[in-house]
């Protein structure tokens, strides 16, 4: 960015690594503040006062209190958030503290029975209202020029910036990033009043979606600019097939829609310095990786076979992630002499099916159910192949971790997976651009075919290690994405 003036930007999200994470959204929101600071922005974040967030929050100052439209009182505090770096220190964070809404143990979105909380419409409207109040100048010490909202949880904020007078008068610009169009935050229309939304917003040219209130649509319709997390996904969501009913709106706003590819945070994901793996290694010295593989085989009760290709998958276990396809491919992986280790949590049926496979194939298949950040690192370090057979994938981060850790990604060529992995064929082997394996049809047989190709490559050790070298040298870092966002903010401020 050329200008010397640092643009004040407020990032609004429901998760942030390492404080609170259920998926890639947290990784992205945790890495962005520092990347944006390097790109010349004055970044602060706004988060809901979940217990984990309050625990990481220090040196708080009470900024203000305001009433939510349904009468509950909200306190906005400002302080530092431990663990999230930004420039030379930790990021400055605003937290909206409403214990009745956010002080609940466990998952930020789901109750103990994994059902969405019945008051999620209020919980995430509260987050957006806090963003709107900050945009309206509730903090005399700092206010944003750009509000950058992430996913449906923050998506009412760009709408309030247009619809709510005190914020609208300040002319704060908004950018809305879609991390996954499939999760939309759709609620009954009778909540409109209670959420403080004007009747005029409830129409097709607004946030109405099939007679209901759509937070996702609010973000897409009212934000000054929309981004999503890869160029291919930006195109895909403009089609009826992948547009989740919003492709028409996205097509009409295509001049205001940009794909900005996510990065990888090398402070967290680098096999040369990763403190969560047993032996460090890099592209020039791979012995540590072999040790990591043996250690993981021991840990998970897999046969200690250094030559058996180890396929790993770290994922939410949902239909999106292609778990059914993987289940179909397990016999092929085993027939060819491979091993499989999966770490994930999600749909009960998928969890049970993976557990059945593990019980039926002791020493060959391991399924660890639950969420385990450190084990995820050990899996990428130990793996030979990282499976990402997603039906759709806005960006995907585990294929980037697989590349960096030399666990070659095997992916369905969609969304960000298509943008980050180069399939291995004779031409890409020869010009040394190959970094993994990709398949195109979303079918069990296409995945199995790709699995066979991965084995064929593995049996050619020279080619295998060459592809692995290329993979490990790829740099999907945040600097590029940070610059890209900073340029978009600048365009917004110039009303371009
Ligand atoms: P998504 O956000 O759709 O779940 P991504 O690939 O963008 O997919 O990001 C997933 C992130 O969550 C990665 O950092 C991955 O390592 C992590 N992850 C997913 N499942 C687990 C799990 N069970 N345990 C630990 N980390 C997990
Ligand atoms: C979403 C997407 C994933 C993306 C992540 C971070 O959860 O499903 O593809 O990598 O957000 O942007």
- pLDDT value at position 3? 52
- pLDDT value at position 5? 77
Average pLDDT, stretch 133-152?
98
Residue 10 near residue 44 (C-beta atoms within 8 A):
yes
Q: Which of 13, 151, 177, 314 for a ligand 1 pocket mutation test, highest count of atoms within 8 Å of Cβ? A: 314
Residue 241 near residue 198 (C-beta atoms within 8 A):
no
- pLDDT value at position 495? 87
Residue 113 has pLDDT above 90, yes or no: no
Confidence of residue 2 (pLDDT cuts 50, 70, 90): very low
Query: What's the CATH number of domain 287-472, 3.30.2130.10, 3.40.50.10420, 3.30.413.10, 3.40.50.2000?
Result: 3.40.50.2000
pLDDT, one tens digit per residue, over 404-449 is 999 999 999 999 999 999 999 999 999 999 999 999 999 999 999 9
Residue 252 has pLDDT above 80, yes or no: yes
pLDDT, one tens digit per residue, over 351-375 is 999 999 999 999 999 999 999 999 9
CA of 24 to the centre of ligand 2 (A): 5
Confidence of residue 496 (pLDDT cuts 50, 70, 90): confident
Confidence of residue 207 (pLDDT cuts 50, 70, 90): very high
Q: Is the CB of 398 under 6 A from ligand 1?
A: yes
| Domain range annotation of the chain | 7-263+478-495, 287-472
Question: What tokens were used for 377?
Answer: 């690192």
Q: What are phi and psi of 184, to 5 degrees?
A: -115, -15
Task: Classify the C-alpha dihedral 159-161-165-166 as positive or negative.
Answer: positive
Average pLDDT, stretch 113-142?
97
Residue 287 has pLDDT above 90, yes or no: yes
pLDDT, mean over the chain: 97
String of DSSP letters for 201-255: GSSTTTTEETTEEEHHHHHHHH-SEEEES-HHHHHHTTSTTTSTT-HHHHHHTGG
Q: Is the CB of 24 under 6 A from ligand 1?
A: yes
The sheet carrying 225-228 orders its strands as: 57-67, 73-86, 89-97, 41-48, 7-12, 146-150, 173-178, 225-228, 257-259
Residues with Cβ within 8 Å of residue 445, at least 6 apart in sequence: none
Fold observed for domain 7-263+478-495: Rossmann fold (3.40.50)
Pairing outcome for strands 408-412 and 385-388 = parallel
pLDDT, one tens digit per residue, over 369-403 is 999 999 999 999 999 999 999 999 999 999 999 99
Quote the CA–CA distance of 269 and 308 in Å, as a whole number: 25
Q: Is 362 exposed, middle or buried (0-12, 13-18, 19+ CB in 10 A)?
A: exposed
Q: Using the 8-state DSSP alphabet, how is residue 300 labeled?
A: H
- pLDDT value at position 114? 86
pLDDT, one tens digit per residue, over 74-111 is 999 999 999 999 999 999 999 999 999 999 988 999 99
Q: E strands within 347-388?
A: 365-369, 385-388
Among protein residues, the one whose CA lies closest to atom 12 of ligand 2: 179
Confidence of residue 4 (pLDDT cuts 50, 70, 90): low
Question: What pTM did the predictor assign?
Answer: 0.97
Average pLDDT, stretch 145-166?
98
Say how many C-beta atoms besides its own lie within 10 A of residue 405's C-beta. 28
CA of 190 to the centre of ligand 1 (A): 35
Q: What percent of the chain has pLDDT over 70?
A: 99
Among protein residues, the one whose CA lies closest to atom 1 of ligand 2: 179
Residue 1 has pLDDT above 60, yes or no: no
Token look-up 């066979």 returns: 452
Quote the CA–CA distance of 160 and 157 in Å, as a whole number: 5
Residues with Cβ within 8 Å of residue 156, at least 6 apart in sequence: 124, 125, 128, 129, 195, 197, 215, 218, 219
């Amino acid at each position: 960015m050329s200008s010397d003036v640092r643009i004040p930007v407020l990032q609004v999200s429901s998760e942030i690594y390492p404080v609170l994470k259920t998926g890639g959204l947290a990784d992205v929101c945790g890495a962005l503040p520092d990347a944006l600071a390097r790109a010349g922005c004055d970044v602060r974040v706004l988060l809901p006062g979940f217990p984990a967030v309050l625990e990481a929050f220090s040196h708080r100052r009470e900024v203000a209190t305001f009433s939510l439209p349904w009468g509950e009182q909200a306190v906005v505090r400002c302080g530092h958030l431990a663990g999230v770096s930004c420039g030379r220190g930790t990021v400055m964070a605003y937290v909206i503290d409403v214990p009745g809404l956010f002080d609940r143990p466990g998952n930020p979105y789901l109750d103990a029975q994994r059902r969405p909380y019945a008051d999620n419409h209020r919980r995430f409207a509260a987050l957006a209202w806090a963003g709107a109040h900050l945009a309206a100048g509730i903090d005399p010490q700092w206010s944003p020029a750009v509000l950058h909202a992430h996913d449906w949880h923050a998506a009412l904020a760009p709408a309030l910036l247009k619809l709510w007078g005190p914020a609208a008068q300040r002319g704060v610009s908004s950018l809305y990033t879609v991390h996954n169009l499939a999760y939309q935050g759709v609620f009954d229309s009778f909540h409109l009043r209670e959420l403080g939304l004007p009747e005029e917003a409830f129409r097709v040219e607004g946030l109405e979606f099939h007679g209901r209130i759509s937070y996702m649509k609010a973000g897409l319709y009212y934000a000054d600019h929309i981004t999503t997390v890869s160029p291919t996904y930006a195109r895909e969501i403009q089609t009826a097939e992948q547009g989740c009913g919003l492709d028409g709106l996205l097509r009409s706003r295509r001049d205001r829609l940009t794909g900005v590819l996510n990065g990888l945070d090398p402070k967290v994901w680098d096999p040369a310095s990763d403190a969560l793996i047993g032996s460090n290694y890099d592209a020039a010295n791979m012995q540590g990786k072999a040790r990591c593989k043996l250690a993981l085989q021991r840990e998970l009760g897999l046969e200690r076979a250094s030559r058996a290709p180890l396929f790993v998958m770290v994922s939410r276990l949902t239909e999106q992630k292609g778990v059914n396809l993987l289940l179909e491919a397990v016999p092929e992986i085993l027939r060819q002499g491979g091993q499989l280790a999966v770490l994930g949590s999600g749909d009960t049926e998928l969890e049970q099916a993976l557990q059945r496979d593990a019980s039926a194939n002791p020493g060959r298949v391991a399924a660890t159910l639950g969420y385990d950040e450190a084990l995820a690192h050990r899996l990428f370090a130990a793996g030979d192949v990282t499976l990402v057979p997603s039906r759709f994938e806005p960006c995907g981060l585990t294929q980037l971790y697989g590349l960096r850790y030399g666990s070659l990604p095997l992916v369905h060529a969609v969304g960000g997976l298509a943008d980050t992995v180069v399939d291995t064929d004779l031409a890409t082997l020869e010009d040394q651009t190959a970094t993994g394996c990709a398949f195109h049809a979303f079918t069990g047989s296409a995945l199995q075919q790709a699995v066979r190709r991965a084995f064929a490559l593995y049996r050619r050790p020279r080619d295998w290690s060459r592809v692995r070298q290329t993979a490990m040298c790829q740099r999907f870092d945040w600097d590029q994405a940070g610059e890209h966002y900073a340029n978009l903010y600048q365009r917004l401020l110039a009303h371009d």
